């Protein structure tokens, strides 16, 4: 049993050792020593993953995320370690499968994947090995016996000690085929468990990775749609004369479709993409989605006047996405524009209302101004936020734009306007919504603003460290 001080001293010693190693002259190593050093360093890195699992277990079991006013362990990792949401989610998932959790009586339960956890702790398997093992085991049918499931995990974990993740994946496919050669063990429960659609965050090129698994019914329906909407010549954004919508619709000119198909150089995957985009446009523009949080369910785009005049740059959406101004203007061709005016500090001009609930115009203004949840560190986009009175309506706070802010449901619930909870108020200088953390999080109770939705401000603040005369706010 190590004391708290002893553990922190060991971590400090590890950090000092790494610092010394980083400063060492490695050019003096022989060829053999370079390879040995790489192997030993990789084993150490893998063993550290096991320590990370233990710490994440402690963080989760102690519910430290609730103490810090965030809704999940993943979110707390993002805030304190500045890792990506995907990295944080993978760390928590790895801890769930490979960590030693505690039962209600205080006893320690074995890891869900004990053989894999042991391989990681020994430094012979990496986090990537463990993810591949977990991915394969997740595909095992529910009807596979516990004995066979344990045997499969042990086999894959043993392979992880000597093989690459790719080798494990290939072997895993053979293992699945061996356990369920004709697919008869897979049933509706497995399909319900595995159904998924993932929409990843946008990359630096503004593209988004889309993946998942469709159950048989969804696949059958999607195939029918693609047969009609992804037909060669249909819904081709690169061809202004390409027919749009359903290829069998009465409005589609047969001769125009044949001609467009002859010009169509898209791959099948590209036609599927364009069909999906056309279906999304159809659903949004026809109004079948109704309203969402008091606004029409439509694409809401924010851009500056300079961007509009130059038709250059990147616009933002209420759902937290970004798109080039050229694409935004094309998307807005059939939309009803809303003009919002802001002063030199970025604050909207006064827009008041004598009732408790914000109206549509005020919501539009808040989306353009604040872009998302205003609690510091929260990345929830505007489309998933409610309108919050910084001074509560019951306490005399008006439904004026100066007193309104966007807050997601989870963050809104944290506001108690007491020392034990979060409080909100407009910044006296800029009018931006500020949040003050409870004493247990910030003993000094300093008001802070959220810049997560304002990348241009993040860059400005980074530059202010280089050019000191550029000041920050709240």
Rounded CA-CA distance 17/143 in Å is 49
User: Could you say which DSSP state residue 41 is in?
Assistant: H
Q: How many CB atoms lie within 10 A of CB 306?
A: 9
Exposed (0-12), middle (13-18) or buried (19+): which is 340, by Cβ within 10 Å? Answer: middle
Instruction: Write the DSSP string, 350-394.
Output: P---SSSS--HHHHHHHHHHH-B--STT---BGGGEEEEESS-GG
How do beta strands 208-213 and 196-202 pair? antiparallel
Global confidence as pTM: 0.60
CA distance 419 to 416: 8
For the chain, how are helix, strand and coil distributed in percent, rounded to 5? 50, 10, 40
Specify whether the CB–CB gap between 371 and 456 falls below 8 A: no
Classified as helix, coil or strand, 311 is coil
**What are the sequence ranges of the domains in the chain?**
32-189, 208-286, 296-334, 360-464
Taking a C-beta distance cutoff of 8 angstroms, is the pair 301, 336 a contact? no
379 sits in the region (left: phi over 0; alpha: psi -120 to 50; else beta) called: alpha
What is the residue-level pLDDT of the chain in tens, covering all 474 positions?
567 778 899 999 999 999 999 999 999 899 999 999 999 999 999 999 999 999 999 999 999 998 887 889 998 998 889 888 889 999 999 999 999 999 989 899 999 999 999 999 999 999 999 999 998 898 888 788 889 889 889 999 999 998 889 888 888 877 877 776 655 556 677 778 888 888 887 777 788 888 888 887 788 788 888 888 888 999 999 999 999 888 888 888 888 998 999 999 999 889 999 998 888 888 777 766 666 555 555 566 676 666 666 777 777 776 667 767 777 777 666 555 554 555 555 555 544 444 545 567 778 788 888 888 999 888 888 878 888 888 776 676 677 777 888 998 888 888 887 777 888 888 887 788 999 988 877 888 899 988 888 877 776 776 676 665 545 555
Total residues belonging to the chain: 474
């Amino acid at each position: 049993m190590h004391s708290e001080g002893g553990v922190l001293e060991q971590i400090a010693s590890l950090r000092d050792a790494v610092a010394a190693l980083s400063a060492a002259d490695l050019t003096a190593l022989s060829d053999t020593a370079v390879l040995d050093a790489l192997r030993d360093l990789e084993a150490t890195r893998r063993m550290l993953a096991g320590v990370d699992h233990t710490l994440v277990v402690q963080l989760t079991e102690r519910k430290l995320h609730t103490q810090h006013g965030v809704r999940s362990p993943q979110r707390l990792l993002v805030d304190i370690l500045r890792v990506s949401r995907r990295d944080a989610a993978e760390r928590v998932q790895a801890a769930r499968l490979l960590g030693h959790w505690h039962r209600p009586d205080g006893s320690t339960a074995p890891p869900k994947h004990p053989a894999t956890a042991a391989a990681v702790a020994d430094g012979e398997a990496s986090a990537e090995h463990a993810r591949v093992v977990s991915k394969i085991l997740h595909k095992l049918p529910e009807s596979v016996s516990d004995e066979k499931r344990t045997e499969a995990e042990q086999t894959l974990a043993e392979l992880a000690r000597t093989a690459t993740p790719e080798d494990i994946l290939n072997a895993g496919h053979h293992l699945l085929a061996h356990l369920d050669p004709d697919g008869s063990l897979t049933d509706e429960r497995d399909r319900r468990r595995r159904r998924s659609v993932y929409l990843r965050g946008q990359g630096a090129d503004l593209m988004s990775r889309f993946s998942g698994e469709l159950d048989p019914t969804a696949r059958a329906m999607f195939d029918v749609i693609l047969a009609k909407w992804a037909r060669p010549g249909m819904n081709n954004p690169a061809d202004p004369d390409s027919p749009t919508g359903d290829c069998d619709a009465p409005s589609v000119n047969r001769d125009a479709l044949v001609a467009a198909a002859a010009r169509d150089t898209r791959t099948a995957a590209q036609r599927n993409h364009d069909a999906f985009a056309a279906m999304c446009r159809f659903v949004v523009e026809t109004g079948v989605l109704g309203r969402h949080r008091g606004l029409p369910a439509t694409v809401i785009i924010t851009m500056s006047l300079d961007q509009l005049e130059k038709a250059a740059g990147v616009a933002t959406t209420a759902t937290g996405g970004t798109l080039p101004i050229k694409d935004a203007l094309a998307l807005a061709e059939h939309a009803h524009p809303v003009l919002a005016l802001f002063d030199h500090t970025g604050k909207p001009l006064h827009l008041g209302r004598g009732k408790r609930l914000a109206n549509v115009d005020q919501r539009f203004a808040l989306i353009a101004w604040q872009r998302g949840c205003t609690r510091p560190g929260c990345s929830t986009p505007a489309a998933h936020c409610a309108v919050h009175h910084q001074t509560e309506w019951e306490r005399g706070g008006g439904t004026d734009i100066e007193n309104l802010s966007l807050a997601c449901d989870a963050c809104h619930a944290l506001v108690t306007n007491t020392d034990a909870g979060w409080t909100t108020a407009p910044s006296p200088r800029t009018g931006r919504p500020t949040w003050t953390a409870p004493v247990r999080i910030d003993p000094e109770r300093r008001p802070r603003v959220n810049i997560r939705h304002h990348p241009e401000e993040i860059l400005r603040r980074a530059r202010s460290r280089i050019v000191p005369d550029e000041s920050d706010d709240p």
